[in-house]
């Protein structure tokens, strides 16, 4: 294949070059994993930043700096964006000390995760039914996930050890599909390993993902009621009753088995 220039501006600079409207593979993977090229450049060895700033191949290998200050390690762009970090990080995640903290919810200061208006509405509706722990936004896990030993669910019901995630396909119709769907499944598995369960609200026509999925057309009171019903199914009535803050939590499910979209 000859020289190619992508719609994101990366690729060949010389002429002639074929122009493709779609982003380059690296930009596509960054979008799927909700990262930025700036974040990627901050992790690579300084001498390799100019080359990485133009990189279009997800299989290209670079020397990376560990976030925790461990030794540099060699890995592809794909492995850095979807992998589990350096060898020392993986070993530390499996240590006895880390195992004692696994499953603990905590507050991560300065955590910046884009929250849509839809996710905010879901949080409000859940909060009208169940008391939420507003001093926790992350959970320790017993493995490395995208280079960290923690995950950041959308909503934590810490007392029940239940995480609530909201997924929708986004404007482009591809969010939470492909690599991102695989990442979502890995995240859920990491939480279950440390005693948590995950309820996924699947909007915009997304298919159920995992044993506790709620397909829906929009975020409504009925969706929140179904989430509470699932909490009862997972942890029992007594545990959920202890956290009730409104009468809506006793509503019966409107989509038995989660098979048909709610709302």
Q: Which residues pair with 9 in a beta bridge?
A: none
Measured at the alpha carbon of residue 232, what is the angle toward residues 230 and 120, in degrees to the nearest 5?
55
**162 pLDDT more than 70:** yes
Band (pLDDT 50/70/90 cuts) for residue 43 is very high
Confidence at residue 144, expressed as pLDDT on a 0 to 100 scale? 83
Confidence at residue 32, expressed as pLDDT on a 0 to 100 scale? 73
**212 pLDDT more than 50:** yes
Q: Which two tokens stand for residue 193?
A: 């390993």
Closest CA to 40 of 3, 9, 79, 6: 79
Band (pLDDT 50/70/90 cuts) for residue 254 is very low
**124 pLDDT more than 50:** yes
Distance CA 31, CA 44 (A): 18
Please name the helix (run of DSSP H) or strand (run of DSSP E) that holds residue 91, with its range, or none: helix 87-93
Distance CA 9, CA 71 (A): 33
**94 pLDDT more than 90:** no
**214 pLDDT more than 90:** yes
Does 179 or 246 have the greater pLDDT score? 179
Kindly state the DSSP code that residue 33 receives in the 8-state scheme.
T
Q: What average pLDDT does this structure show over 137-166?
A: 91
Band (pLDDT 50/70/90 cuts) for residue 250 is very low
Band (pLDDT 50/70/90 cuts) for residue 114 is low
């Amino acid at each position: 294949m000859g020289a190619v220039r992508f719609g994101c501006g990366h690729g060949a600079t010389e002429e002639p070059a074929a122009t493709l409207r779609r982003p380059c593979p690296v930009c596509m993977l960054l979008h799927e994993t909700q990262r930025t090229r700036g974040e990627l450049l901050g992790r690579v060895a300084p001498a390799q930043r100019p080359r990485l700033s133009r990189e279009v191949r997800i299989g290209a290998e670079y020397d990376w700096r560990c976030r925790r200050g461990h030794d540099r390690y060699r890995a592809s762009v794909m492995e850095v964006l979807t992998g589990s970090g350096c060898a020392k990080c993986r070993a530390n995640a499996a240590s006895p000390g880390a195992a004692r903290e696994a499953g603990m919810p905590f507050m991560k200061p300065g955590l910046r995760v884009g929250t849509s208006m839809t996710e905010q509405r879901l949080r409000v509706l859940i909060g009208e039914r169940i008391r939420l722990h507003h001093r926790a936004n992350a959970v320790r896990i017993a493995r490395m996930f995208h280079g960290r030993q923690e995950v950041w669910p959308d909503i934590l019901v810490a007392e029940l050890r239940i995480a609530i995630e909201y997924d929708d396909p986004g404007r482009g119709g591809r969010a939470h599909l492909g690599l991102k769907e695989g990442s979502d499944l890995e995240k859920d598995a990491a939480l279950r390993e440390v005693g948590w369960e995950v309820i996924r609200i699947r909007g915009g026509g997304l298919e159920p993902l995992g044993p506790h999925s709620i397909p829906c057309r929009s975020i409504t009171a009925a969706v929140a009621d179904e989430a509470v019903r699932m909490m009862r199914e997972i942890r029992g009535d007594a545990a959920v009753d202890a956290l009730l803050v409104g009468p809506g939590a006793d509503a019966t499910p409107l989509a038995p088995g989660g098979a048909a979209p709610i709302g």
